[in-house]
Amino acid sequence: MMRHIKLLILLYLPCQAALGEGLPDTISYFCNANRSEISIDMEEQSSSLKRDGFIKETVNWGGLLEFGPENNGRGEPLRSGSKIAISQCGMIQIRIESGFVNDDIEGQSGALDFPIIELRIGERTAVERTALETCSVDDRRANVYFGTCPNYWAQSIKTRMQSDGSIEAEIKRQFFGRHGETKKIVEKRKIYQI
């Protein structure tokens, strides 16, 4: 029932329909613990996809969503936050939670929900909380609630061990610009050095 309501709302919100359409409630990622290498990619969500040397893990991020005691005008509970699923891949801790832009699914941008990924090494944040979804620079509600587009939004987050033993993160961001054009940015940074 909840997905049907979201679909109806998406039909009336063209920009939001482009952002949240077809996103499953689970996210799969690949882990090579020996090398602390991770691949979390929206294009690698096929259940049959395999990668040599990697273990595939799946998290139901939609099931992490929490609802509070308050209801909207139709008696449906409002979203209040998320639990966090934590796993380890070598030295990298992967934290996955559920994110949303509006606690009321019938409110402005309410149909948009998404997985949030954070990577840590020890107590240090290696990749800050990042929504795994396409964003729009003009979506003020999303930019205020979660973080400025495209800085806190991405299509994929991957880590690779370099020949010197350091670990590099590659973050691919895809977003809609001010005139509706699709833009892409690839950011690479060292997250661990020996």
Residue 53 zone, left/alpha/beta (φ > 0; ψ -120 to 50; rest):
left
The pLDDT tens digits of the residues spanning 129-166 come to 999 998 999 988 788 778 899 999 999 999 999 999 99
Mean pLDDT calculated for residue range 172-184: 94
Cβ neighbours of residue 171 closer than 8 Å, sequence gap 6 or more:
127, 130, 154, 156, 157, 186, 187, 188, 189
Residues 6+ apart with CB under 8 A from 26: 58, 59, 60, 61, 62
Which pLDDT does position 111 carry in this prediction? 63
Q: Which domain range does residue 162 map to?
A: 2-192
Express each pLDDT in 39-76 by its tens digit.
999 998 888 899 999 999 999 999 998 988 888 888 88
Counted domains in the chain: 1
pTM to 2 decimal places: 0.82
Determine whether 194 is exposed, middle or buried from the number of CB atoms within 10 Å of its CB (0-12, 13-18, 19+). Answer: exposed
- The answer to whether 131 and 145 have CB atoms below 8 angstroms apart is no
Contact 104, 113 (CB under 8 A): no
**% of residues, the chain, pLDDT over 90:** 60
